[in-house]
Amino acid sequence: MIEVDRLSKTFPGRTGDGAVEALKDVSLTIRDGEFLTVLGPSGCGKTTLLRIMAGLESHDSGEIRVDGKAITGPGPDRAMVFQSFALLPWATIIANVAFGLELRGVAKSEREARAEQLIKLVGLSGFEKKLPGQLSGGMQQRVGLARALAVDPKILLMDEPFGALDEQTRRLLQEELLAIWEQSRKTVLFITHSMEEAVLLGDRVVLMSPRPGRIVDIVEVPLARPRASAVDDMSGSAEFAAITADLWRRLRAMQQSGQRADAPVPVGASA
């Protein structure tokens, strides 16, 4: 279980600029094996929250705990998938996927065997010896996902991983991610700007306010699982449309007013 307890973060201003309060008193509980999506206006601190969870960014006050232990830096229980792919351009696909295992001292034969399994899982068999520059954006993101899975983290942190992809590729990777998650049931925290993506993937959707980021609401998604084989049916349902329309109404209100659409509700409550 992940517990975020009254987390706040302010970035110091640059020369001539004031400080930027990114997060303020954020509290949240993420259940083991949950797929939690986070949605909010641009600049609301979503990525900052994720980076603090990953141990890549410090915080000013509050605490994040994993199974009761405070996060003080990166750890083997967490892996991050970035929007920008962040692959090693000079390394082959199999070397990229196995990179985390190499850092942990896993023998070459063992790490390459694991990498080959995951390359097959994400549909890239035959591309093991290619370089990232020889792959499309969608294929590179598959490599990034395989690399994160290679170290077998308990928690997968995903920062708008499909945001730069075309709609067709995005939908294919959404289906693939759902299928992988339905097999592994890892705890996933997934940042997105898309209402549809947040609802399609998530067990719950965390709605954040404009800066400083606070939790406005946590919306339960009652769509049945498994979903990987029924994405088209789910996304075409009246229930799906109603939830996404409500999220859009609230996000639009925040964008127009610069204020939260509603007062915060107790964490864990539904819309």
pLDDT digits (tens, 9 = 90+) for 177-235: 999 999 889 999 999 999 999 999 999 999 999 888 999 999 999 998 888 888 888 88
- Confidence band (pLDDT; 50, 70, 90) for 38? very high
Quote the mean pLDDT of the chain: 88
- Confidence band (pLDDT; 50, 70, 90) for 165? confident
262: pLDDT strictly greater than 70: no
Residue ranges with strand state E in 160-240: 187-192, 204-208, 215-220
96: Cβ–Cβ under 8 A, 6 or more apart, which residues?
87, 88, 132, 143, 147
- Confidence band (pLDDT; 50, 70, 90) for 30? very high
Residue ranges with strand state E in 75-125: 78-81
pLDDT above 90 coverage of the chain, percent: 63
C-alpha triplet 115, 190, 36: angle, nearest 5°:
115
* 45-94 per-position pLDDT tens digit: 899 999 999 999 999 999 999 999 999 899 889 999 988 778 899 999 99
Tokens 């750890």 appear where? 75
